[in-house]
Amino acid sequence: MLKKTPIAAGIAALATIFIAGGCAVADADKSNAVDYTAMTPEELAEHLIFEANGFVLDQEVQEGGTTRQRMVQDDLHKACSVIGGGDPDQETLEAVRAAAAESIVYPEGGIELGDWERGRELAWSGFGYRVGHKTDDHSARDVGGNCYNCHQLATDRTGGNLGPSLTGYGKTRGTSEAMLKYAYDMIYNPHVYFPCTNMPRFGHSGFLDEQAIADIMAYMFDPESPVNE
Ligand code: HEC
């Protein structure tokens, strides 16, 4: 098991003092006797995730390890969390961008478009790497890209608006080599163009493999695809 973060450990220590000192809130379950009002929002978030037993943290996840291990931030999360959702300073921006560029692996034969019909299903599907009461079984179903959760693509399906609309993407942007590389990079690791973006790193995280990226790109660029109607 991983070590608790200093903040979570501090909160646990605080809880112990409360209980040991006999000043826990009356009638409250003593194991949960923590004074929320004394916490900063960050401390409260850490407490709720790591200490309050709301999440099943020892559940196994598909990439190996446990949910608790998945919660541990990698270097990019840390760099982007420090700025607290604001705009990255120049130094963070350059470091995040450089690390993202280095992470991108290109297909041996160059970037090509795959099968837009499979891409359509993958762009729609949110299946894969989920944890909760039941983990996703990757042997039974392909991992999707969940693009519609944040983007509108073809208009025959309803998309989200956390990201910009990608309707008519291939028709308006064309299929030059530079354009295909940009789209590939965006799907593989978007921090290369948008440091600290909310868009996931699908290639870098291993959620989408080379074929899945090619198929989703076909869905975005193929003139036959409903995205370009
Ligand atoms: C969690 C939300 C989220 C998901 C899921 C997501 N994106 Fe994005 N995407 C964004 C955001 C936000 C931006 C805009 C960049 C920014 O401002 O951070 C973006 C930008 C893009 C762009 C660049 C847009 C342009 O104008 O050139 C492309 C291409 C893109 N996404 C493709 C995809 C594809 C394909 C998928 C699915 C495999 C996907 N996105 C899934 C949030 C998301």
- Torsion angle, alpha carbons of 104, 108, 111, 114, to 10: -110
213 pLDDT more than 80: yes
- For the CA of 220, the closest atom of ligand 1 is 35
Q: Is 121 or 89 the better-scoring residue by pLDDT?
A: 121
In the reported structure, the alpha carbon of residue 227 is separated from the centroid of ligand 1 by a whole-number distance in angstroms of 15
User: Nearest to residue 147, comparing CAs of 66, 225, 57, 56?
Assistant: 225
| Residue ID of nearest Cα to ligand 1 atom 1 | 199
In the reported structure, the alpha carbon of residue 47 is separated from the centroid of ligand 1 by a whole-number distance in angstroms of 31
pLDDT per residue as tens digits for the range 119-162 = 999 999 999 998 876 788 888 899 999 999 999 999 999 999 99
Residue 21, pLDDT score: 37
Residue 173, pLDDT score: 98
Residue 50, pLDDT score: 83
Query: Using an 8 Å Cβ cutoff, are 130 and 143 in contact?
Result: no
- Size of the chain, expressed as the number of residues it contains: 229
Kindly list the protein residues whose Cβ atom lies closer than 6 A to any atom of ligand 1.
123, 145-147, 149-151, 162-164, 166, 183, 186-187, 194, 197-200, 202, 216
Q: Which of 173, 186, 228 to mutate to test the pocket of ligand 1 (most atoms within 8 A of CB)?
A: 186
Instruction: Give the amino acid at 61.
Output: V
Q: Which residues fall within 8 angstroms of residue 215, CB to CB, at 6 or more apart?
A: 114, 115, 116, 118, 119, 122
Q: Is 31 or 19 the better-scoring residue by pLDDT?
A: 31
Pairwise CA distance, residues 224 & 229, whole Å = 8
∠ Cα 222 227 229 (to 5°): 90
| Residue ID of nearest Cα to ligand 1 atom 34 | 147
- For the CA of 183, the closest atom of ligand 1 is 29
In the reported structure, the alpha carbon of residue 186 is separated from the centroid of ligand 1 by a whole-number distance in angstroms of 7
In the reported structure, the alpha carbon of residue 208 is separated from the centroid of ligand 1 by a whole-number distance in angstroms of 14
Task: Indicate the burial class of 133 (C-beta count within 10 angstroms; 0-12, 13-18, 19 or more).
Answer: exposed
- For the CA of 197, the closest atom of ligand 1 is 18
Residue 32, pLDDT score: 58
Cα atoms in the Cβ-side hemisphere of radius 13 Å centred on 174: 4
- For the CA of 196, the closest atom of ligand 1 is 18
The pLDDT of 76-103, averaged and rounded, is: 86
Q: Which residues fall within 8 angstroms of residue 139, CB to CB, at 6 or more apart?
A: none
Q: Is 216 or 34 the better-scoring residue by pLDDT?
A: 216
225 pLDDT more than 50: yes
∠ Cα 60 147 131 (to 5°): 15
Average of per-residue pLDDT values in the chain? 85
Residue with tokens 């179903």: 141
pLDDT per residue as tens digits for the range 4-25 = 444 444 444 333 333 333 333 4
54 pLDDT more than 50: yes
